[in-house]
Amino acid sequence: MTTELPRRVAVLSVHTSPTEQPGTGDAGGMNVYVAQTAIRMARRGVEVEIFTRATSSEQPPTVELAPGVTVRFVAAGPFEGLGKDDLPAQLCAFTAGVLRAEARHDPGWYDVVHSHYWLSGQVGWLARDRWGVPLVHTAHTLAKVKNAALAAGDTPEPRVRLIGEDQVVAEADRLVANTEIEAKQLIELYDADPRRTVTIPPGVDTDRFRPGDRAAARAALDLPHDAVVLAFVGRIQRLKAPDVLLRAAAELLARTPSLRDRLVVLVAGGPSGSGLAEPTSLQELAAELGVTDVVRFLPPRGGDELVTVYRAADVVAVPSHNESFGLVALEAQACGTPVVATRVGGLPVAVADGRSGLLVSGHDISDWADALGELALDPARCERMAGVAAGHARRFSWDRTTDALLGAYDEARAEFRAREGGRR
């Protein structure tokens, strides 16, 4: 069956722009997802317009992310100083900006609305009704799941989000889950309609993220060629649990003091979410644990600089308390670097346990030290896993993700037309 491609798609990403650098603020895997799928839709002849909130008076009204992909910055509330939890109060203003943009065109300008995260879903729900086109929604994270797996001391997701997610799930014409686990959570926790829920795994850019020269990567980062390198990449917040890596590193040093001469722990990322209230907490923890001399903090990195970090590491740690998928795990494996990750959310899909990396149940520091040591201190095993990791990552591609999304759009449009036609 041939997929009927939409002419034009409105993508809503209220709280974070695909033009932002992942790894700090609210920018992360969702930014990568939105950008990569939009670019690939445009290559197939579909025009994509991405609406996001303006965060600076210096931002132009629009920028071209890639040929056929336009990012529109919508003024909604103060440009700066608003956190994600402040944005529900600005959804009316944001929606008005989106509707005004569409009103400048002839009716039927957009064929599909695709919202990312619950804030965007609230806007998409109204746009869907105003424009008479289907709403496709990707949650990326779910409040009920996050609240069930909170890190110690972390703040639960607010009631307004719980209510908002329930509303979006009830209204969306298609719900896109990253994994079968997430689809099941939508159905069981949010009473989603199984017939409107589809599973489409994210991808990885294997043209960029691929195995390379480890020695060159270490030289670029001024690391000893024979170092034992553990890495964390991502936002510095309790949800992502970078503290687990530091504590596990301290445990490894307690077990083998001579390792201190070779161990390097790379932490690449910036404060985000709950981490903004304690921007130096990880540095303070390193001092408290006595590992400051082996830990190197790097600013958020993208492109080839990020590839260099992955290639330089013996193992990349993904100790999150919750991940809807875990793009960092895929990117690291695509670079030929095994991953040690928590057995939560989509990580058991992203990581082939025992073959491309290891999964750890929970956050017991002894268990994490065991897993990291099993790989990083066993070069032969690490090397075997490296080849498998790259092959495993190649099973996921943004082209496959995009094709599946376009298929979901087509099904949603056909059902929407049939339903709305029957009401007339």
Within its chain, how far is the Cα of 219 from the centroid? 29
Helix 365-376, helix 242-255: angle, nearest 10: 70
331 is in an annotated binding site: yes
31 is in an annotated binding site: yes
95 is in an annotated binding site: no
313 is in an annotated binding site: yes
394 is in an annotated binding site: no
15 is in an annotated binding site: yes
Residue with structure tokens 């149940």? 361
Q: Alpha helices of 27-154 — where are they, by DSSP H?
A: 29-43, 91-103, 118-131, 143-148
Whether 50 and 38 have beta carbons less than 8 Å apart is answered as: yes
338 is in an annotated binding site: no
311 is in an annotated binding site: yes
Radius of gyration of the chain (CA): 22
**What residues form DSSP beta bridges with 71?**
50, 63
22 is in an annotated binding site: yes
Q: What are phi and psi of 40, to 5 degrees?
A: -75, -30
27 is in an annotated binding site: yes
370 is in an annotated binding site: no
26 is in an annotated binding site: yes
19 is in an annotated binding site: no
C-alpha distances in angstroms, 250 versus 224, 242, 285, 292, 304?
20, 13, 11, 10, 30
184 is in an annotated binding site: no
Whether 88 and 167 have beta carbons less than 8 Å apart is answered as: no
55 is in an annotated binding site: no
Instruction: List, as one string, the DSSP characters of 305-352.
Output: HHHHHHHH-SEEEE--S--SS-HHHHHHHHTT--EEEES-TTHHHHS-
Q: What are phi and psi of 299, to 5 degrees?
A: -70, 160
30 is in an annotated binding site: yes
414 is in an annotated binding site: no
**How many other CB atoms are found less than 10 A from the CB of residue 7?**
12
28 is in an annotated binding site: yes
Residue ranges of the annotated binding site for UDP-N-acetyl-alpha-D-glucosamine are 21-22, 29, 235, 240, 301, 323, 331
Residue ranges of the annotated binding site for 1D-myo-inositol 3-phosphate are 15, 26-31, 84, 117, 141, 161
Residue ranges of the annotated binding site for Mg(2+) are 310-311, 313, 337
Residue ranges of the annotated binding site are 15, 21-22, 26-31, 84, 117, 141, 161, 235, 240, 301, 310-311, 313, 323, 331, 337
